[in-house]
Amino acid sequence: MADLSRKALVIGVSSRALFDLEEANDVYRNDGVAQYEDYQKSRVDETLAPGTAFPFVSRLLRFNRLFDDPDEGVEVVVLSRNSPRTGLRIMNSIRAHDLDITRAVFRSGMSTFPLMREFNMSLFLSANADEVKSAVDKGLPAGLVLPFRRRSHQLDDDNELRVAFDFDGVLAGDSSERVFQQARRNDPEHATEVYGDHELMNADRPLENGPLERLLKGLNALQRAARESTLPDKPSLRVYLMTARSAPAHERAIRTLEEKGLTVDEAFFLGGLSKTPFLNEVQPHIFFDDDMMNLENPDLNIPAVHIPFGIRNDGE
């Protein structure tokens, strides 16, 4: 019997996150379920174009070449609110794009995130904001993929996967962010100084786990497998930390990752500078941030995912 618990990573992805289904979704919203079913049925053999999560997912699956045991490596599962009938186009498109995805659930409009625990998922990517927020509120690692159409440069042929993370509210919890927000309310002029002193005083106290801590752990496992592999054309993975922290608050972030046995290849401590130019320069195939303000910049030219977790999203 197959055992997903031995996988380095199990990722869930909705059909709208994996493929560009915006035209079909417009039919659903404007004309209803019956017209949507007819629309998809008449196009069952038309291959869907890649969606926002496609560059990340397709490159992640390449790491399965490093593992001889099918119970190891990466598993990607489609969790979709499509019906089994409309799901045929999704599965046909998966085959046409030669993606190593064999497991899928089609729930005919029912919520999909409750199945995350059964599949032992470290991440679920969806284009449904309500679904993602409900999952995160229940302590599950879900992210909202944002529309992204400038993706041709993300489909190049090199073997490197690049993943970028914010720190607070993503890899770590939001307790430090709450300290900063409280300082801003009490004394806006000195809030940054108060926050920095707090983080320096607590530098040797690791922060609590964030929603995507397990995802980074799995990515690090894939990095180790790649380093140990002797395959001549093996995939590689580079992880970036992109945070508004700066000295002296940087130390607690580094020590927290070390304490948890997690690593990143590059760390950007930007001290409140816009992340956009730096992200556009390194061109990650996916970027995770809990602050929607960092993701709504019209100049941002990468696939981005909002993690609606913690104090920055309490009012949503």
Q: Which residues are catalytic?
A: 166
Could you tell me the CA-to-CA distances from 8 to 27, 63, 205, 208, 296 in Å, in that order?
38, 10, 28, 22, 32
Which residue shows structure tokens 């174009």? 49
- Answer yes or no: are the C-beta atoms of 147 and 50 closer than 8 Å: no
Give the phi and the psi of residue 20 in degrees, each rounded to 5. -80, 100
CA–CA separation, 28 and 11 (whole Å)? 26
- For every residue of 207-247, DSSP letters joined together read PPB-TTHHHHHHHHHHHHHHHH---TT--EEEEEEEES--T
Please state whether the peptide bond connecting residue 147 to the residue before it is cis, i.e. omega within 30 degrees of 0.
Answer: no
3-state secondary structure of 138: coil
Specify the DSSP element, H or E, that contains 187: none
Neighbours of 232 (CB within 10 A): 5
H helices, E strands: number in the chain:
11, 10
CB 264 within 8 A of CB 139: no
Residue 95 corresponds to which tokens in the numbers above? 């085959």
Which region, left, alpha or beta, applies to residue 310 given φ > 0 means left and ψ of -120 to 50 means alpha? left
160-165 and 142-145 beta bridge pairing: unpaired
| Sheet hosting strand 266-269, strand order edge to edge | 103-106, 74-80, 9-13, 123-126, 142-145, 304-306, 286-289, 160-165, 236-243, 266-269
